[in-house]
Amino acid sequence: MLQKTHSAAGLVAAELVIVYHEGSFWSWEAAGALLLGCLAGPLADVDKQGSTMAKLLFPVSALLRLLNVRHRTMTHSIVFILTLMVLSLPLSPLYHAVFIAAYLSHPLIDLFNEQGVHLFWPLKARVRLLPKFLAIDTGSTSETVFRWMLLAVGIWLPVSAIGFPRLF
């Protein structure tokens, strides 16, 4: 999946956390949470040379390359996610939940890709949810449709939280 699809998934994850916490979408805290979701969604691709996250976090990307970490392995694994959960505990409860949910959205939607992910890294087995003929190829029309569906949900969630009767 492309960075913009992962950002859309991170946005939806952040919105779901805000709804779960019964927060208002019209606050600075929510704005920060939405931005955090958009950034944490594609963060796992720091392991892919040339990706937006690898460019933004070049020192981390360079270290991963020196350690010979391949794409969709360590940074997409359950072990890494659990480590991030512990390291991000100092964040406020809302931001911690948004960061983890948005980061989790990344390997989750990569499971729909034909290549899958090394979810149980350091084990070598790749996991994917769809058979190859249904898989969503990176940059394909099916990924574009998937991204637009995510964006539709991203628009619907805040609107539904406000409630239509209060708008008129």
- For 46-85, write each residue's pLDDT tens digit: 999 989 999 999 999 999 999 999 999 999 999 999 999 9
Please write the tens of the pLDDT for every residue from 1-56: 899 999 999 999 999 999 999 888 989 999 999 999 999 999 999 999 989 999 99
Output the CA torsion sign for 64, 40, 54, 87: negative
Q: Taking 80 as the threshold, does the pLDDT of residue 167 lie above it? A: no
| Threshold 0.75, pTM exceeds | yes
DSSP string computed for 85-106: HHHTTTS-HHHHHHHHHHHHHH
pLDDT value of position 164: 52
Q: When comparing pLDDT for 139 and 40, which is higher?
A: 40
Quote the pLDDT of residue 75: 95
Residue 82 has, within 13 A of its CA and on its CB side, a CA count of: 6
Cβ neighbours for 112, distance < 8 A, ≥ 6 positions apart:
1, 128, 129, 130, 135, 136, 146
Mean pLDDT, residues 134-150 taken together: 94
CB 17 within 8 A of CB 104: no
